[in-house]
Each structure stands twice: as structure tokens, then as C-alpha cells.
A and B are shown apart, each in its own frame.
Chain A
Amino acid sequence: MSSSAEVAKGVTNSIQEYLQSLPRQTFDQLYAQPATCLATLRLLPPIAKQVVMRLLYTQKPVAKADVEVWCFPDHRGDLQDSLSKLSRLHICTDYEEHLQMNRIFQENFHNALVGGGDHVSFGQPMNDNKGEVDIALLDRHAAESWETVLHQLVGTPGDRRPKAVTKLLLASGLQEFPDDGGYSETNEHQKMNITSKGFQFLLLDVNVQVWSLLLQYLGLAERQLNMDIVQVLNFLFQIGSLELGQAYSVEPLTDTQRRVMEDLKYFGIFYQRTKKSRKFYPTRMATSLTSGSMVSSRKPEDSQGYIIVETNFRMYAYTDSPLQIAILSLFVSLQARFQNMVTGLITRDAIREALTKGITSDQIITYLTAHAHPELKKQSPILPQTVIDQIRLWEMERNRLRLSGAWLYSDFTDLNEFTQIVNYAEPLGAVLWKNEKRRTLAVTEEGHENVKSFRKRAAAARAGGAGR
């Protein structure tokens, strides 16, 4: 579906953006792990992948002109994008019109593909599985843990509120303390409030949610926990290439990585039978991290759509999950709840309330579309057009005023001076409004300083000219 593909693009972009913000030295350390090389490759667009595969076994730099003929002329632009991405991720460097692959990346990516080298970058599988842990259990564990996190976010009363989760939700700005409520041990749980960012978060796909929390975790690990970011990233990329349902040994992990595992286990990314266990199992959430596909953490039969929207703005949701009902109640006025479904009405008030919380109409529409009932999905467009339009209109009617801080210049005695200032400020993008007849001009607050100094210079020039 196109909407989830767009969202998927958003995620890979954001992890890529994060990677691009790192210094070069970090990359050299990162690429020392074959699993990281493979995961990075998976984040690349198809053309970039193609370029990497072709360059992998060339030792000498390749002329850029040669690379260009690999591609149809109409797609030169895509190729350029891919090449610049490769250089920003320090996979290829280009100098004097030649492309040269990063040696460290080249060697370790080769190892990743052929399984060479002496490393445990892809985890150390363990075989003493007594058959107690199967994929169904892992899926259940992942779904339960993640729902617990989301429940904590929406503020459902519960007893499982691990500190690591609280801290991360707080740091990512998804939850906050109401105004002056400081952090104290006694009331830390009750006083958390969900923010508008948190509401938006709820409407995202699970994979997107996981990644955005992991990115927050990376930031937190670097700033507050003094962790080695390379080890954390290596670990995240490593678990992305593990096999679902397979047990892995904790032994090869570094201390930092064990801490990461400790922190992240509440999110349902791993399963450990007991806390002291020497084994861990990655869940579907972990193994789909770098695959780019939207594998939901829920079991396939559960992840089917459940929402029906009719042209008369009625909504029926076939669900008994309190979480999904809580999310729906953000923008639907719910009317009745039955054993396996809820009914509601999409009303102006409900939508407006959601809008004031910072949720956009696009998010609502995307959510409804993504979770539409299979019956509804047979139609095109999936949601009734009237409902989509009306939700957009409700959003637009909230923004009938456009306000901008400004400085108003008026009472010009000289038309010349007026046009001079307009000619100066217009290319800067500083003019908000002007009227030549009235010789009045509104400039932006940022532009005001520029215009002020411009007028001073002009006045000085005039005075100088008159003095001579």
C-alpha cells in the first residue's frame, strides 16, 4: 500500500539521517562489523545497492563516467542521488572523478556475504533449545511488551511500568510532566501526561514507532548514559540480521551491548526466559528492523484491518483491544461498545479535539486507511471520499487566520526610498505585504534588522552625497 510505503521511506530516511550526522571515524569503526555493513546496504536505495555490488570486487578506483553508463540516461538523477548517499555514508569516496570504495567496508561486506573472517557479528547461535520457545511465543511476547509500552503512553493504569520505558518516553517528548511537576521517586508514575507528539506517535506503524524510539535511545545513550555509540549501533544492526526463532548466546556481547539489551527488553525486541539466562531470542520486531518491510509485531491474523467507515460518517471497528479503542477515541466520538466491536461517529468536535492535540488530518486519514477492514479495502478509494474531504475541511477551517510577527513601515515621503527598500527586501524574502499606493510595507521580524541597517546606509550615502 502506498501510504505505508511512504511511512517506511520516512523511517529509513531518519536512521540514515542519524548515520549521516556521525563523524567519519565512527563509520570506520562501524564498518568493522560485517553485520553493520549488510544492514547499511539494506537501507540504501536500489541503484545505490547495485553500485555497491558492482564496486565490491574492484580494487582500483572506477571512473565516474563509467559508473554513469550503468544507468539509463533518464535515471541519471537517481544515480546522482544514490552516489551522494553513498559518499555521505562514507561507503564510497570520490576524488578526481573516480569512485573508490571504503576499504574497511569492502572487506567486511565481503565477509558478510561469503561468511569469511573470524567474527561473531551475526550472533552466536545456540542449539540447546528444548523447544520451549517457538515463533508464536516470541510474537506474543513482542506484541504484549509493545502494547504495554503503548498503554503506558496513553496512561492506562497498569502495574508494569519499567523505569527504562518511562525514561525513554520522557526523553523523546512523547510524555511529559504537567507544568511544574518535577521528577520525584514517589509520584513519577501518576503524573506523566501524553503530549501531542505522543498522540501522533500512536498513529504510526509499529515499525516506525520502534525505529523512532530506538533513535531516541541512541541519542540518550550518547548524551546521558555515556555509552559507546558504535557498539550500540553495531548491536542494533546485528539484531536486524538475526534469525527469528533461533536462540543466541549472550557471551560475545560487550558490557555496553548487554546494557542496551537490558534497557530494550521491555520493548519486546528480545525474549529471555529468565533474567540471568545466557541465551536470548530476537523477536519479529528485531529481525524486521533493517528489512525495510513493514512486518508488524502482531500476528498476521491480528494485523488485518478492522475499521469500516461509511459515507454517513459512521465508523465500526471490529476490535476488543483497549489500546486500539483508546486510539480511536482520539478522533472518533464512540457511541457503543460490544463484545467484539465498537461503533462511533466521526464528528466535527471529535476531529477538532484531535487537531488541537496536534494530530493532523493526514495522520487520521492514514491511520483509518491503514487499518481499514478487508471489505473496505476492496473499494477505491478505500475511505469514502466525502469523509476524507470533510476531515480535511475541518482542519482547514481551524486555520482561518495566518499570523506573522512583522514591522510595518509607513509614511514614506519619497516614493524612491520606498521602492529602494522594497527592491532590497523582496529578494531576501522579507516582504510580507506591500502597497505602493499607500507607500506602506510590512517586513518580517528577521528581515527588520537588515532593512534597518540598509536604511542607515542609504541615509548615510544620501547625507554624504548632499555634503559633497
Chain B
Amino acid sequence: MVKARKGTLLECDPAVKQIVQDLDNKKSEAGEKRFILEDLDETHLFIDPCEVEWLQKRLDEILEENTYRFDDVA
């Protein structure tokens, strides 16, 4: 039987996908519900729409941590 589910399609580069999957695993380890509903392919994930906002914020923080700054140098 064909299954139809509502959710959010997330398109990203493979590096970001790894971070998202890592976040998903951490959530599951902490005993919370996973937000990735389906792993589609290298650049696509199908996720829970309720978690989109949290995910965006969290991802922004992680990418921010990994950015080199030159403000202080100058």
C-alpha cells in the first residue's frame, strides 16, 4: 500500500548532511525522538517539520564555531 507522509524536504551539501545526521543521532542517544524521517540520498533528507527551526539554529551555531575570524588580528 502506498504511504503518504507530510514533512519537510531538506536539500543540502553532503557536509551539512553529516552534521544534521550527527545531531539526529545525539538526539536519539539523549532519549529524544529522531527528527530525520527518511534518509533519501546524499543531498536530501526528509525531516519532521516541527524541528526545522531548532535545526536551523543549531546548525548555524555549529557552522559558526567552525569559522575562522580575522577581526582581532586586524
Contact = CB atoms under 8 A, between A and B. Distances in A.
Interface residues of A, number: 33
Contact of B56 (A401, A404, A445, A455): A401
Contact of A402 (B12, B55, B70): B12
A123 B71 CA distance: 57
Nearest to A459: B2
Contacts of A435: 40-41
B56 A412 contact: no
Contact of B8 (A314, A348, A405, A440): A405
A407 B40 contact: no
B9 A433 contact: yes
Interface string A362-405: 00000000000000000000000000000000000100111111
A347 B73 CA distance: 12
B2 A417 contact: yes
Contacts of A442: 9, 40, 44, 46
Interface residues of B, number: 31
Interface in B20-74: 37-38, 40-41, 44, 46, 49, 52, 55-56, 59, 63, 67, 69-71, 74
A466 B17 CA distance: 46
B38 A402 contact: no
Contacts of B41: 435
A313 B69 CA distance: 13
A407 B3 CA distance: 10
A411 interface: yes
Nearest to A405: B8
A229 interface: no
A400 B1 contact: no
B6 A407 contact: yes
A408 interface: yes
A178 B44 CA distance: 37
A402 B10 contact: yes
Interface of A: 312-314, 333, 345, 347-349, 397, 400-413, 417, 432-433, 435, 440, 442, 445, 448, 452, 455
Interface of B: 1-13, 16, 37-38, 40-41, 44, 46, 49, 52, 55-56, 59, 63, 67, 69-71, 74
Given A400-B63, A413-B2, A448-B4, 9 more contacts: A349-B71, A403-B9, A404-B9, A405-B49, A406-B6, A406-B9, A406-B46, A407-B7, A433-B44
19 contacts: A314-B74, A347-B69, A400-B13, A400-B16, A401-B16, A402-B12, A403-B10, A403-B52, A405-B9, A405-B49, A406-B6, A406-B8, A406-B46, A408-B5, A433-B9, A435-B41, A440-B38, A442-B44, A455-B2
The 6 lowest CB-CB distance pairs between A and B, nearest first, are A406-B9, A402-B11, A411-B3, A408-B5, A442-B9, A400-B16
